[in-house]
Structure 1
Amino acid sequence: MMASLRCVFAAIAVIVPGGILSQAVAGDLRVLAWEGYLAPLVVERFEAETGHRVTVDTFLSVSEQKRRLAERPGTYDIAMPPDYEVPGMAARGELEAIEAERLPGYANILDGWRSPPYDRRNAYSVPFHWGTTSLVVDTAVYAGTERSIRLLFDPPPELKDRTGFLVGAEETLRLALLWLGLPQCTSDRAQLQRAIDLVRPMIHKERVYSIADSVDVLSSGRIGIGIAWNGDALRARERRPSLRYIYPEEGLIIWSDALVVPTGAPNRDVALQFIDFMLRPGIAALQSNFTRYANTIRGSDALLDPALMEAPEVVIPSDVAIRFFRSCDSGQLSVYAELWDPLLRDLGR
């Protein structure tokens, strides 16, 4: 869903997948970003306009980003945590105050995304992308029209042994809890164990995927139904037209990612310059056209790919009730990971 749906609410960048960055250089910008998330054209534009060289280091999961920031303090100028991580990071002194209200581009942020409950007055963050997490079904395998999480957790014969899961604990366990009629956000280990027990018989290492390979797996024909972020679902459908994104009657997950400046950022001023750059409508549109995710910037609509504005993965149907800012907190999700990660290790992931 793009900004128009507000009613519901001078060098090529160096990409270092999981690499160790060299010591910070004054004037450089070092970004810790989701794998494949930051549009190369956006990076090139920033470098050309400012003369600052950008180095992008990538991560595949929230836990990896947290570990990278903890192990390499004073390395990164920009990070991209999910919204639910922002309050805890700020409280622990892990973020620089950016006072986003003072940035020239702040007025471009849509009203619903200014002063969100996780960061009042955007003292530490600005919104980057937002989207949904739900299910993708291959209609070449299952031709039914049912809109239910049942298709994943109690699959019909066509979909049995063809179920796919994201590597992150949050996505799978929240949907499993939803199917079981339990709270999506809980620290109750007995409830979470019920979700683990539900998923364990259905999961296979060849059908577990991360942000780095989700599009490839979803479009490969290996799975009949799988969990997906909506932008990846759209990119997969562009490769395999038989894929359909489902808005389950039981509900779905709404999420957003933020731009923040880690404490001790070696080039804080350049980081603020980059954040303001990302608040421009034209830059936000370039970014959304690349990732296929919605942005939060007023005026970007006119520059978006028309296919993106009409994509069913992005335009949420009017009969689907969504509630923003209902994320689980980082403490709860730490318990999710504690129980989920051994399952992945058993699979060899």
Structure 2
Amino acid sequence: MKKLLMTASLAFFALTGAAQAEGKLSIYHWFEYIPQELLDKFAKEYDVEVTMDTYDSNESLLASLKAGKLGSYDVAVPGDYMVKILNNEGMLDTFEPSELSNFGNIEDQWADVSFDPGRKSSIPYQWGSTSFSVNRDVFSGPIDSLAIVFDPPEELKGKINVLDTSGETLTLASLYLGIPQCTPDKAQLKALNALVQGAKQHWASFGSDIAKDVLVSGDAAVGMIWSGFSAKARSEGANIEYAFPKEGYIVWMDNVVLLKDAPNRENALKFMNFLLEPENAAAVTNYAQYTAGVKGVAPFLEPAVANSPESNPPAGQKGVFVEACPQEVQVLYDAIWTNLKK
């Protein structure tokens, strides 16, 4: 199995007559998750030079910051559980709500969250789900179970792409087994390891940055995928259906965090405040096809995005957040993942 990484560097410069922009902003972000036009708009509005590097998983973000990148970036966009981990690692700065004039635009359900109580270090960016999509030209059977990924029918074996992220992949495997996340129970961990090791022979690839493309190209008939990526694959012509399995699926909230030792703290706060404007939050949603955590976006949404089946799960389906495990338990999951990737 080969891990495909995409690390891109993009620079956007304010189109002004000034010889030098008033300041800079350095962003560390997921790939394909913000429209260039929105970055250009911010750069022009605030006369700021914006640079952005990308990563393909929460774990890659953490590893990069630990390896010495902390202090190089002003903001990053981690998932919910990773916000808690970064905070526990001392990698986040704090701000007061009064420093963001649009703080009140945060939707009530996202204003006080367990991974950042009171929103002291983060604002909501977009939220969605993680499950899998199936090519209906290849498989017409039921897709209401995670067995499609972990114990697939014969016609799907060898045609499955799995996200290259341990948090989500092992959480979905745990849901399939019906065991708790972050379990320290040796028998349950042994069963989890056996499940993914047994399923690995049926997987064609591990790939997060290729998750959409392999479904569009037909290189994969099944893809573990984020809801917005599935919607984008459909819009690009893939005859796929996104599943909400009976065992459960992952719900997540990505967040813009203020990083410790941010070299351009004031511009970071300007950018966070900018993203809390309903029109700007909607621009991200229309591009990425997830859901904003900001009030007032509805009038700015494209109908196809607002009515996307990926964003509207059936009533009664169970969505869970990925948990941040205690360190003594996380090392056990890291061992399972490392062994799986060999």
TM-score with structure 2 setting the length:
0.87
Which of 215, 218, 237 in structure 1 is aligned with 2:215?
Answer: 218
Which of 169, 179, 191 in structure 1 is aligned with 2:188?
Answer: 191
What does the per-residue CA deviation read over 1:167-196, in whole Å, with 9 as the maximum and x for residues that have no partner?
111222111121122113324455334223
The whole-number CA distance in structure 2 between the counterparts of 1:92 and 1:156 is 42
| 1:17 matched residue in structure 2 | 7
The whole-number CA distance in structure 1 between the counterparts of 2:212 and 2:262 is 33
| 1:37 matched residue in structure 2 | 33
Which of 163, 168, 174 in structure 2 is aligned with 1:166?
Answer: 163
What does the per-residue CA deviation read over 1:117-146, in whole Å, with 9 as the maximum and x for residues that have no partner?
221111111111111111211111111234
What does the per-residue CA deviation read over 1:244-287, in whole Å, with 9 as the maximum and x for residues that have no partner?
00111111111111111111111100000000000000000111
* SS at 2:132 equivalent: strand
Q: Shift of the alpha carbon at 1:48?
A: 0.8
The letter for the 1-side match of 2:81 is Y
Gaps of 5+ in 2: 1-5, 12-20
Gaps of 5+ in 1: 1-15
Q: Shift of the alpha carbon at 1:83?
A: 1.4
| 1:306 matched residue in structure 2 | 303
The whole-number CA distance in structure 1 between the counterparts of 2:242 and 2:279 is 28
What does the per-residue CA deviation read over 1:284-305, in whole Å, with 9 as the maximum and x for residues that have no partner?
0111111111110111111111
The whole-number CA distance in structure 2 between the counterparts of 1:205 and 1:180 is 18
Native 8 Å contact 1:81 1:258 kept in 2: yes
Native 8 Å contact 1:110 1:298 kept in 2: yes
The whole-number CA distance in structure 2 between the counterparts of 1:84 and 1:287 is 21
The yes-or-no answer on 1:28 pairing with 2:18 is no
Native 8 Å contact 1:133 1:229 kept in 2: yes
**Alpha carbons of structure 1 residues 81 and 189: separation in structure 2 relative to 1, 3 Å:** farther
The whole-number CA distance in structure 2 between the counterparts of 1:224 and 1:88 is 34
The whole-number CA distance in structure 1 between the counterparts of 2:184 and 2:253 is 22
| 2:340 matched residue in structure 1 | 343
The yes-or-no answer on 1:132 pairing with 2:129 is yes
| 1:317 matched residue in structure 2 | 314
The letter for the 1-side match of 2:7 is P
What does the per-residue CA deviation read over 1:48-78, in whole Å, with 9 as the maximum and x for residues that have no partner?
1000010001111222211222212321101
The whole-number CA distance in structure 2 between the counterparts of 1:343 and 1:294 is 32
| 1:4 matched residue in structure 2 | none
| 2:287 matched residue in structure 1 | 290
Q: Which moved more, 1:333-342 or 1:71-80?
A: 333-342
The letter for the 2-side match of 1:95 is L
Matched positions, count: 326
| 1:8 matched residue in structure 2 | none
Q: Shift of the alpha carbon at 1:18?
A: 5.4
| 1:12 matched residue in structure 2 | none
Structure 1 residue ranges, 4+ long, deviating more than 6 angstroms after superposition: none
Native 8 Å contact 2:278 2:296 kept in 1: yes
TM-score with structure 1 setting the length:
0.86
| 1:233 matched residue in structure 2 | 230
The whole-number CA distance in structure 2 between the counterparts of 1:133 and 1:93 is 28
**Alpha carbons of structure 1 residues 330 and 297: separation in structure 2 relative to 1, 3 Å:** farther
CA RMSD of aligned residues (A): 2.5
Native 8 Å contact 2:151 2:199 kept in 1: no
Q: Which moved more, 1:188-197 or 1:77-86?
A: 188-197
| 2:16 matched residue in structure 1 | none
Q: Shift of the alpha carbon at 1:102?
A: 4.1
The whole-number CA distance in structure 1 between the counterparts of 2:81 and 2:199 is 29
| 1:110 matched residue in structure 2 | 107
| 1:265 matched residue in structure 2 | 262
* SS at 1:167 equivalent: coil
* SS at 1:264 equivalent: coil
Native 8 Å contact 1:193 1:339 kept in 2: no
The whole-number CA distance in structure 1 between the counterparts of 2:179 and 2:203 is 28
| 2:51 matched residue in structure 1 | 55
The whole-number CA distance in structure 2 between the counterparts of 1:168 and 1:240 is 26
The letter for the 1-side match of 2:42 is F
* SS at 2:287 equivalent: helix
